[in-house]
Every structure is written in C-alpha cells, then in structure tokens.
Amino acid sequence: MYAVLYIINAVNSKDIILGKLNEQQRVAVQTTEGPLLVFAGAGSGKTRVITNRIAYLITEKNVSPKNIMAVTFTKKAAGEMQERVVSLLKELNIDTKDVPLIGTFHSIGALFLRQNARDVGLMPNFSICDSTDTENLIKDILIEKNIDVKQIKPESIAYFISDAKNELISPEQFSQHYGGFIEDIVADIYPLYQKQLRLQNSVDFGDLIYLTVKLLSEDKKVLSYYQDIYRYILIDEYQDTNTAQYMFAKLLSQKYQNICVVGDDDQGIYGWRGADIKNIQSFERDFKNVKVVKLEQNYRSTGNVISAAMSVIQQNVFRVNKKLWTEKDSGNPITVYQARDQDDEAQYVVDEINRLRKNGISLVDIAVLYRTNYQSRAIEEAMLKNGIPYKLVGGFRFYDRKEIKDILSYMRFIFNLKDDLSITRVLNTPNRKIGPKSIAAIHSIAKKCGCSIGEVLVGAYSIKNSLEKHEEMDDREYKKVESVMDDIMNFSPIVDLFGSLYFGSQGMDVLSVIDLILEKTKYIEWFDDSSQEAEYKKENIEELKNVAAAYSQKFGNNSLEIFLQEINLIELEQSKNQDGSGNYVNLMTLHSSKGLEFDYVFIVGVEEGILPHSRSFTDEEELEEERRLCYVGITRAKEKLYLTFSERRLSREGYSTQIPSRFLGEIPQNICDYYSWQS
C-alpha cells in the first residue's frame, strides 16, 4: 500500500516538475551532476527551469535543501526566485522549513564574511558602507594628504577602487594594472582607504565579493567547508558576472563540479559596469565534461519580432551560435517610422499610444524604450501635453533629475532673488564646504535684514565691488544689508559666485545663462569622471541646453522667463499625471528593460550615434554590446514592435542631420511597414 502511494506521489512530483517543460528544458532540469551550461534565449522560460531544477534535486535526487545554493544579481530577482521555489515545493507537499540558500552574490558574500570575520581582520558585527560613506572616507584621506578634493573628486577615486576590487586587484597590485595621473593618486589612496575601513570595522560593497574570494583562495579549510555544504550551485544571468564573481563561483564548485550556470551571451549588456561576457563564452574551457543545453524556443514574442531580433544579433561575430524560434505565428509587421525631428517622433509615439488605447489596449502593456536617459525628455513632454499617464522605470523624470534640478535652481535664483528654496538647494552645490550651520547662519543674516538670501548675497556683492545698490532693493533693505556686511563677508566666495552669476546674466538669453552657470560653478567638472553615471548626467545637461537653445532663438532676451514658465507648467502637469490608477505607459532605458516584457514596445532614436552609441564606433567589442542592447530591446515585445528614428535633431548649433541606425538595415524589409512624416 505505502509502496503504491510512494510510486503515485513520485509520478505526480515528476509530472508537476517536468510536465510543462519542453525537451531541452527537461534536459536542463534533469542534468544534475557535473557542470551544466544553459544558454537561455530571451523569453525561453529560464526562471522556470532554475526553480524546477531546484525542486527536482530535492524531490528526485534527495538532495538536502541545505546543500543547494542559487545566486542571482538583484535582491528583487532573488526574492522572486525564493517565492517561486517555496510555492513549487508546497505544491509538491515538501516541508519548506529548510530551503536552499538563494541570494545575490553580495548577500551571500556578506553571509560568508560574517561567519568568518576574524579570518579577514574583521569583527562579525562589521558595518557595510554605502557609496556616500565611501566617498566621505576617501574625502577625509585626500584632505589629510593635502589633495584638493575639487580637483581630485572622491567619487572618481571610489570608482577606480571599486573597479579594482571587481577585478580582484589588491592595493599593492593596483599600480601594476592602472597607469595615469589620477590612477597614480588612487594607488596611493587605495591602501590607506582599506586600512581606514579596517580600523572602523567596516567593508564597502566591493569588499563583499573581493574579501570573500580572498578568504576562499587563501584558507583551504574554509573553502572545503563551504564546498561540502553547497554541493549544488546554480547561477542566473551568468553573462553578467565580473572577474570576482566568476572566481567565487569557480572556487566553490571546484570540488564537486555540480555547477549550473544559466545565461545568454546575446543579452550581455553590462560590460560598462565590469561584466565580462567571456565568462559564459569560455565556461566549457573552465570545466571538464560540460553539458551544454540551448533553450531556443521563445514563448514571448511573435514570429516577426523573433525574426527581427535574430537578424540583428546574428551580425555579431563574437557569439555562441544559437537560433531563437517560436511556434507563434508571424503576427504584426514591425513598424518603422521616420520622424522629422525628436518632437515629431514623440508626437508619433503619443498618437500611436492613443490609437492603441482607443482599441482597448491597457497603458501598462505599453513600453517606450530609449538608449540614453536624456531621450525621455521629449517623450515625457508629449505625454504630458496629451494627458497620457506614464511611469519612469529605474530612473527619475527628466526635470526631477538632480543635475537638471540644480541648474534650474540657479536659473530661478537669477530670475527671482526672493526664491529662497532654489537658492538654498544650491548654496553648497557643487560642494563648497558649506555645512548646515553655515547655511543656517546665512538664513539668519537674511532674516535679520528682512531680505531674501538672494537679496543679501547680491546686495553684499554690490557693496563689496563699490557698485550702486540694485534697483530692486529699497533704502531700508539696503541699509540692513550694509549693517551686516561683516557677517555675510565670512561667506565671501558664496557672495562672489552668486553676485557674479546674477549681474553677469542680466540681459542674457536662457542658453547663455545656462552656459554662465556651468562656467562659474564648474558644475560638470564637479561630477565628471570616467563613470557611466557621469556620462548620463552630461547628456541630460546637454539635452537641457538643446531645449534652451530653441527658446533662445525664438524669444531672445525674454527666453529665460518664458523657459522657466514653461518648466513650471510641465512640473504642474507631472503632478497631475499621477492619477493613482497604476495604468501608466512604461518609460525606461534599454538597459532597464532587461528581464521585462510588454505587449507593445516602442524603441525610439534608432539612429547612428544614439543606437549604436557614438563611443562604440571605434571599438568592435562595444559595437557588439550595442547590438546586443538592441536585441534585448526588440525581444521585450510580445505582440507589436515600433522602431522610430529622426531625420534631424535639435542642438544648440541648430538642427543636425541624423543617419538611420545600421541595425535598422539588418532587419528584413519584408517583415516591416515603413512610414514617414512626409507621407
């Protein structure tokens, strides 16, 4: 009787785990021993394979959950995987008191370090520094060494140190791998920074993997302990691993070789943050007797979308050969639209969304994707003007981005001396060593004068430079400012800056005002380093200048007032745009779209210099990553794909002619419908 029930339960378990899988998915789930490389194409059901494989190990191979480790890249992905595994085990009537270790590389690294803290010179209660803590610590070291933090920014040093840790480069080895002016400074700061971290019983984010790998490499006893516990290792998104993460996985799996890595080299789009696509491409060389499984059936997209995606990605030379396919029919043709300019492009997208909306399509099923953040500006404004709710995924609305808000605050100060909110925002931006006490003191001086902060600063500048008082200030106010000159001149650099900005900008058009702000404040120099984030900030500022240029050309010296008025209206519309329904069009970068899917997808700005990005023109590897990025964007679409490009784009010099992206030319014409603003 019990034997019969066991057999029935075993059959039921297998049916639950394997019943809905295709042949290749079953192979991936059932290949439990030895190294396994799973190439999981876009929309091929890799998450189901990973979770079902864990369940199969537990139910069919009698592997204890304590002997299984599953690693992914984000806290969200780890949480979702945990939920799916627990749900599946409950469906199989398996006790979920003990579950596999499922987490990110960094969370698992932190766990290992706390368990072995003293072996790496730490106490178990060590703190984990965030980016602000890291930069402040580096800043203190720079000041101690008499290095000007305005010239050598702490965030630049932090960037190089983080990169070094990702590459497993120690402080002692740094100078052997990096060369240059700032790198020589980093070589000096890096060991001092690490020493200071230890004195504070702290680690930074990079240490969580760097120190863990160091521990496992140097302490064979500790390594063997973890190898014996985690005999079965699964790693998701393996194409996104960096050198440190790669070594972590290699060391842990050395003894039993039961490592399953899942990924897709065609979706490797994070080279700029240290990911090395060669890790997945060379997996077969790193391990012996590797079983390779290719999940090539796509369950997400129509035939035309898959055809477009494959036609693009197959142009890459450095990729593993595989071909995505689907049982779905061809579906809608790919729509390619040639816009007159970015405003026409945005309006076309909005018009199409309105048409889809009228046909019963929910806004939440629509996504607009773009290569870089600055491109959202035109789309956002078109959506606001047409009353279409939208949500920025993985970022801020254009006019909510810090660098844009900072520059707008300077502009509002120039336009309105009484705008204390705007002035307060930028009193210490860029950093001028003006702390909360100093800001409070400036507020107190202004209150004593009965003036705004702007009036005090400008008035003090006038007096200091023996100029006549500004016409906006009456005698009473002027005398009050004069009486506290001694107090305010303690902040002489602030007085000089804001005074010169105010008087220097009078009679200027809005573009010239922005140029003056950037010049006087050295705002771009403040954050400019080799990071991707800095590049995005510069692109956003350039887009703001492009918009300002149009106002300057049209309205001349009145353009500042009209521009700020328009921005205020946009911000008002943004506040109204949040209707609480949850039904929004999704706006995001191509990078942010990875792992998501939508019925209707627009990819805008498919032009040379944007997609692919101009910096890839001279680097074959970067160009291939741009093509992978395009592939990722295309494969987000389930039902319908739109690709748009502009004939020209507005810049401060006027309109520049744009060239359609080479990726458009790689898509078969017979699956596309072509439209133009001229037709």
C-alpha–C-alpha distance, residues 647 and 661, integer Å:
11
CA atoms lying within 13 Å on the CB side of residue 251? 23
Active-site pick, 397, 636, 649, 662: 636
Active site residue 267: yes
CA distances for 361 relative to 378, 511, 583, 586, 608, angstroms: 23, 41, 11, 14, 32
Q: Which residue in the list 237, 264, 276, 624 is annotated as catalytic? A: 237
User: Closest by alpha carbon to 345, among 139, 602, 518, 154?
Assistant: 602
Cβ-Cβ contacts under 8 Å for 675 (sequence gap 6 or more): 335, 336, 337, 338
385 is catalytic: no
Residue of 24, 25, 46, 319 marked active site: 46
Instruction: Kindly state the greatest CA–CA separation across the chain.
Output: 105
Q: Is position 236 annotated as part of the catalytic site? A: yes
What secondary structure does DSSP assign to 505-564, as a single string?
TTT--HHHHHHHHHHHHTHHHHH-SSSHHHHHHHHHHHHHHHHHHHHHHHHGGGHHHHHH
Other CB atoms within 10 Å distance of the CB of residue 631 = 27
Active site residue 636: yes
Say if residues 457 and 495 touch (Cβ distance below 8 Å): yes
Q: Identify which of 190, 195, 216, 194 has the alpha carbon closest to the alpha carbon of residue 207.
A: 194
Query: d(Cα 521, Cα 504) in Å, to the nearest integer?
Result: 13
Q: Residue for token digits 């319908």?
A: 640
84 tagged catalytic: no
- Is the separation of the CB atoms in 21 and 29 below 8 Å? yes
3-class state of residue 610 by DSSP: strand
Cα(439)–Cα(443) distance, integer angstroms = 6
Helices (H), 282-427: 283-286, 303-313, 342-358, 376-385, 402-415, 420-426
- 30, 31, 47, 173: the active-site residue: 47
Q: Which of 236, 264, 345, 352 is catalytic?
A: 236
Tokens of 545: 């200048």
Instruction: State whether the Cα torsion 524-528-533-539 is positive or negative.
Output: positive
Instruction: Say whether 46 is catalytic.
Output: yes
Long-range contacts, stretch 518-521, CB < 8 angstroms, 24+ apart: 518/407, 521/410, 521/430, 521/497
Using CA atoms, how far apart are residues 441 and 447, in angstroms rounded to an integer? 10
List the catalytic residue out of 267, 372, 521, 574.
267
Catalytic residue positions, numbered: 46-47, 236-237, 267, 636
